[in-house]
Amino acid sequence: MDIIETIKDQIANNTILLYMKGSPNAPQCGFSARASQAVMACGEKFAYVDILQHPEIRANLPAYANWPTFPQLWVKGELIGGSDIVLEMFEKGELQTLIKDAMAE
Protein backbone atom coordinates (compact mmCIF):
# COMPACT_ATOMS: atom_id res chain seq x y z
CA MET A 1 0.00 0.00 0.00
CA ASP A 2 1.28 3.43 -0.92
CA ILE A 3 2.09 5.66 2.06
CA ILE A 4 -0.59 8.25 1.29
CA GLU A 5 -3.17 5.44 1.15
CA THR A 6 -1.89 4.20 4.52
CA ILE A 7 -2.29 7.70 6.01
CA LYS A 8 -5.81 8.05 4.54
CA ASP A 9 -6.70 4.61 5.92
CA GLN A 10 -5.43 5.48 9.42
CA ILE A 11 -7.37 8.74 9.45
CA ALA A 12 -10.55 7.11 8.11
CA ASN A 13 -10.48 4.16 10.50
CA ASN A 14 -9.76 6.00 13.76
CA THR A 15 -12.31 8.44 15.16
CA ILE A 16 -9.58 10.14 17.21
CA LEU A 17 -6.01 9.88 15.95
CA LEU A 18 -2.90 11.63 17.20
CA TYR A 19 0.26 11.62 15.11
CA MET A 20 3.02 12.29 17.61
CA LYS A 21 6.64 11.72 18.55
CA GLY A 22 6.68 8.75 20.92
CA SER A 23 3.60 7.37 22.65
CA PRO A 24 1.08 8.98 25.01
CA ASN A 25 2.77 7.25 27.97
CA ALA A 26 6.30 7.97 26.72
CA PRO A 27 6.25 11.10 24.53
CA GLN A 28 9.52 12.04 22.86
CA CYS A 29 8.99 15.80 22.69
CA GLY A 30 7.30 18.46 24.80
CA PHE A 31 4.73 19.36 22.16
CA SER A 32 3.65 15.73 21.77
CA ALA A 33 3.58 15.37 25.57
CA ARG A 34 1.27 18.35 26.03
CA ALA A 35 -1.05 17.38 23.18
CA SER A 36 -1.36 13.74 24.27
CA GLN A 37 -1.99 14.76 27.90
CA ALA A 38 -4.82 17.07 26.78
CA VAL A 39 -6.39 14.32 24.66
CA MET A 40 -6.00 11.73 27.45
CA ALA A 41 -7.63 14.16 29.90
CA CYS A 42 -10.77 14.10 27.74
CA GLY A 43 -11.30 10.54 28.95
CA GLU A 44 -11.89 8.74 25.65
CA LYS A 45 -9.79 6.08 23.96
CA PHE A 46 -7.81 7.30 20.99
CA ALA A 47 -5.35 5.92 18.48
CA TYR A 48 -1.86 7.27 17.96
CA VAL A 49 0.97 6.82 15.49
CA ASP A 50 4.56 7.27 16.64
CA ILE A 51 6.08 9.08 13.67
CA LEU A 52 9.58 8.33 14.97
CA GLN A 53 8.85 4.64 14.27
CA HIS A 54 7.36 5.47 10.84
CA PRO A 55 9.71 7.80 8.97
CA GLU A 56 7.69 7.47 5.75
CA ILE A 57 4.61 8.86 7.53
CA ARG A 58 6.72 11.57 9.14
CA ALA A 59 8.00 12.58 5.70
CA ASN A 60 4.66 12.50 3.86
CA LEU A 61 1.96 13.52 6.34
CA PRO A 62 2.87 17.24 6.45
CA ALA A 63 2.29 17.56 2.69
CA TYR A 64 -0.90 15.49 2.80
CA ALA A 65 -2.31 17.43 5.76
CA ASN A 66 -0.94 20.79 4.62
CA TRP A 67 0.33 21.12 8.22
CA PRO A 68 4.12 21.23 8.67
CA THR A 69 4.59 20.13 12.27
CA PHE A 70 3.85 17.37 14.77
CA PRO A 71 1.84 16.47 16.73
CA GLN A 72 -1.29 16.45 14.59
CA LEU A 73 -4.69 15.65 16.06
CA TRP A 74 -7.36 14.27 13.71
CA VAL A 75 -10.98 13.85 14.79
CA LYS A 76 -13.50 12.17 12.48
CA GLY A 77 -11.20 12.59 9.49
CA GLU A 78 -10.60 16.28 10.08
CA LEU A 79 -7.29 17.85 11.09
CA ILE A 80 -7.85 19.77 14.31
CA GLY A 81 -4.31 21.09 14.61
CA GLY A 82 -1.10 20.85 16.55
CA SER A 83 -0.07 21.26 20.15
CA ASP A 84 -0.95 24.96 20.58
CA ILE A 85 -4.43 24.58 19.07
CA VAL A 86 -5.14 21.39 21.03
CA LEU A 87 -4.10 23.02 24.31
CA GLU A 88 -6.08 26.19 23.61
CA MET A 89 -9.19 24.14 22.78
CA PHE A 90 -8.69 22.06 25.93
CA GLU A 91 -8.39 25.13 28.15
CA LYS A 92 -11.66 26.50 26.70
CA GLY A 93 -13.45 23.15 27.11
CA GLU A 94 -13.87 22.84 23.34
CA LEU A 95 -11.63 19.79 22.94
CA GLN A 96 -13.58 17.79 25.53
CA THR A 97 -16.86 18.56 23.73
CA LEU A 98 -15.40 17.75 20.31
CA ILE A 99 -14.00 14.41 21.45
CA LYS A 100 -17.09 13.38 23.44
CA ASP A 101 -19.36 14.25 20.50
CA ALA A 102 -17.11 12.37 18.06
CA MET A 103 -17.21 9.23 20.22
CA ALA A 104 -20.97 9.48 20.75
CA GLU A 105 -21.70 9.24 17.01
pLDDT at residue 11, rounded to an integer: 98
| Binding-site residue set | 21, 29, 58, 70, 83-84
CA distance 80 to 86: 7
pLDDT in tens, 32-49: 999 999 999 999 999 999
**Positions in the chain short of pLDDT 50:** none
Domain boundaries, the chain: 3-104
Write down the pLDDT at residue 82: 97
Top CATH class of 3-104 equals alpha beta
Query: Binding site membership for [2Fe-2S] cluster: which residues?
Result: 29
pLDDT of residue 40: 98
The enclosing H or E element of 34 equals helix 30-41
User: For residue 30, which of 20, 39, 19 has the smallest C-alpha distance?
Assistant: 20
User: Which residue ranges are tagged as binding site for glutathione?
Assistant: 21, 58, 70, 83-84
